[in-house]
Amino acid sequence: MSALTLFIMRHAKALAADARGGDFARPLAPRGLSDAAQMGRWLHAHYPAIDLAVVSPAQRTRETLDRLLAAWPEAAPPTIWAPALYLAELPTLLHVLATQSARRVLVLGHNPGMEELLRHCLGNTCAGLDRTSTLMPTAALYVLEIAERGSLAAAGTATLLDHMRPALLADAD
């Protein structure tokens, strides 16, 4: 089995649900549009070779991906719209990822599932991350390496390669 580079990302900041569209149809807020574009520029500058994006089909994840991939001047990675990722829990996320064969996979979804996936992959090493804030605020991205793709189901098998969130980009400006 080959190694897997896994990019775990939560959608950018969305507007509150209203009676017309409900949660699934929530669009990004103005800050979310800006944050997603910033994260896209950072992601492309540091990791331009992503083989596949596996994304929840909710409006806010679609808009996040659109802004994120706008930073790719060449062809953006192909996308799989995975309905199972909408508000998915850990077992569903692991199942969807196990069906992918790409080496560098971006998974873009929702909390609490994205944070559950991150905690699962990193296991005890999550304890060393920033405890003063949520691990997966909106538009946060973690880059993990999993030496053996088949070990994804086992907790704590990933190594943290990188992490970025919009607030850290703002601090760097």
pLDDT at residue 172, rounded to an integer: 61
Token duo for residue 123: 């296991």
pLDDT category of residue 170 using cuts at 50, 70 and 90: confident
Token duo for residue 8: 């775990």
3-state class (DSSP) for residue 163? strand
For residues 150-163, average pLDDT: 90
Give the tens place of pLDDT for each residue, 93-115.
Answer: 999 999 999 999 999 999 999 99
Residue 165 belongs to domain spanning = 4-172
The total number of structural domains that make up the chain: 1
Strand order in the sheet with 52-55: 79-81, 52-55, 104-109, 4-10, 141-146, 158-164
Q: What is the pTM of this model?
A: 0.93
What percentage of the chain reaches a pLDDT higher than 70?
91
C-alpha distances (whole Å) from 66 to each of 49, 62, 122 are 17, 6, 28
pLDDT category of residue 158 using cuts at 50, 70 and 90: very high
pLDDT at residue 130, rounded to an integer: 56
Q: CATH number of the domain that 97 lies in?
A: 3.40.50.1240
- Rounded to whole angstroms, how far apart are CA atoms 8 and 115? 9
